[in-house]
Amino acid sequence: MAAGDLLPVVDTSAGETKYITRANLAIDLAIPPADDTHDHGSSALNWRHYFMSGNFTVDTASWIGLGAAKGRIVFTDAGTDTLAILDGIVQVGTASGAGQVNITPASAISGLDIVAYTGGIGMTVTRNNNDVETSPLVTFLSSHINTEQSTLFIDHDGNGGSAAYALRVDSENTAGPTVYVTGSGILSRQDLTDTYGLKVDRNIAQAGTMPLVIFQNEHASNTQSTHFIDHDSTGGVAGYGLHVDSENAAAPAALFESAYYSATQPGIAVGDVDTGFGQNAADQLSLIAGGVEGIRITEAASVITVQFGGTLDLNENSIDLTTGLADTKYEGFTATFTAGENVTIGELCYFKPGDSKMWQADGDALATTTGLLSIATTTISADASGVFLLWGFIRDDGIFNYTAGDELYISLTPGIPTATIPPAAGDFVRLVGNAITADVIMFNPSNDILERV
């Protein structure tokens, strides 16, 4: 075959026979006489298909692609062998996509599997600009309708786990947290009705000493809150370890529940573990110091009772009683006794030692005048218990009718105090208080008793 003769070549893809010259075959396909001086084809006349059973080798920094400034693959051998895809979008398993790299698996297989070895990182995503960005650095978007599929599953030991989570983190590191996050605005979610923004559930039955959630703040500024819960996103005063802002007028801003608090064990501790607020029963609040109940507040039938577990020290202050009482109200020292007979509010009573009951006082006899005196604070039936005022202010617009400044005495007729001094011989005179207004008296009985002669 002469140098100018045509050599038939079969195009296997089209079943056509094409021809090249023997001279071109010898020069272009054989080893060239000098490095990088011969091309295979040209920019105008290209080879359409290559069918090879061996390797295709290029020199370092050489490329395969559409052109020097178009989509191309660049091979570099400079210390670390690299393959770079430049000036183009990479499509794997798809002909289109919105990202720089788009992967669409052809079947139910993983779209991307990354295996990292010791000391290496599986994947690093870096936003390489200084612009202020509003879009997230990484978005995991799931458009499936199957609720048993997880959008993102992070499994430390590769043994799988329960599905149906938007984010599940499985860590075998017992010396550190399962998730460690740093930054500003770390967890944020705009949620739908009746769903959780963040739910943390310890799904184990073992007794543990570690808390379920820790909010730890290491900043130096005391104007920053460690944990800020804002119900309506209007903000609030900072500088609190815990700030709860709720707009629900029908429920408390915060509810603390514990199965272990009592009258001596705080459910909310302040300063140390045995000082704070506890509860021994419903509608009861205990103020605890050093594991000792100092104050107990109890509600029963809309009446508040305050009990002290120690000495009340006024610390050079006072107890302020009001004289501007509402009708049938009172302030002062009281005690609960059993009534010996029917009594009503405002009636003056004496304590009878023989039966330890309160009976109506009467200035006609020493026995019904002497001893402990009191005023009934409400209607009390015979042999029923009730509250009696021992010292203080009481008001009743229906039965009191005095002149401000009147001195009040035990009446000769059992009932309310009188402003008239008993006049006759054999009457017993005992001062029991003063009128502050026509309807308010100060009950302050004297221990002095005089008999008229």
Distances (CA, A) of 396 to 116, 258, 430: 87, 46, 22
65 and 47 together in one domain: no
Q: For residue 116, tell me if it sits in a domain.
A: no
Q: Which residue from 305, 327, 304 is spatially nearest to 378, judged by alpha carbons?
A: 327
- Asked if 338 and 403 sit in the same domain, the reply is yes
Q: Kindly state whether residue 72 falls inside one of the protein's structural domains.
A: yes
Largest CA distance in the chain: 169
Unique residue bearing structure tokens 């043994």: 159
On whether both 376 and 404 belong to a single domain, the answer is yes
Q: Are residues 334 and 446 in the same domain?
A: yes
What single-letter amino acid sits at 222?
N
Long-range contacts of 257-262 (CB under 8 A, 24+ apart): 262/286
Q: What are the tens digits of pLDDT across the range 419-447? A: 999 999 999 999 999 999 999 999 999 99
Band the pLDDT of 76: cuts 50, 70, 90: confident
Mean pLDDT across the chain: 78
Apex CA 214: angle with CA 210 and CA 216, to 5°?
A: 130
| DSSP output for 158-212 | S-------SEEEE---TTS-S----SSS-S-----TT--S--------S--SS-S
Q: Which carries the bigger pLDDT value, residue 415 or residue 240?
A: 415
Residues 64 and 37 both lie in one domain: no
Q: Write the DSSP string, 324-367.
A: -PPTT-EEEEEEEEEESS-B-TT-EEEEETTTTEEEE--TT-ST
Q: What is the pLDDT of residues 210-223, one digit of tens each?
A: 666 676 666 555 56
Sort strands 348-352 and 292-300 into parallel, antiparallel or unpaired.
unpaired
Residues 40 and 73 in one domain: no
Q: How confident is the model at residue 56 (pLDDT cuts 50, 70, 90)?
A: confident
Q: What CATH code is carried by the domain that includes residue 390?
A: 2.40.300
Domain that holds residue 39: 1-51
Would you say residue 431 lies in a domain?
Answer: yes
What single-letter DSSP state applies at residue 15? Answer: T
Q: 303 and 349 share a domain?
A: no
Question: Do 279 and 354 have their domain in common?
Answer: no
The pair of structure tokens assigned to 95 is: 């002909």
pLDDT band at residue 357 using 50, 70 and 90 as cut-offs: very high
- The verdict on residue 20 lying in a domain is yes
- Asked if 363 and 426 sit in the same domain, the reply is yes
How much is the pTM? 0.51
Domain count, the chain: 5
The answer to whether residue 1 scores a pLDDT higher than 50 is: no
Q: Which one, of 42, 38, 81, 29, lies nearest residue 60 by Cα?
A: 81
pLDDT for residue 81? 82
Same domain, 291 and 365: no
Q: Which residues are within 8 A (CB) of 257 and not within 5 positions of it... i.e. 6 or more apart?
A: 267
Q: What are the pLDDT digits (tens) for 401-411?
A: 999 999 999 99
CA distances 354 to 151, 210, 357, 365, 376, Å, are 84, 63, 8, 16, 20
User: Looking at the domain assignment, is residue 94 inside a domain?
Assistant: yes
Q: Are residues 21 and 91 both part of a single domain?
A: no
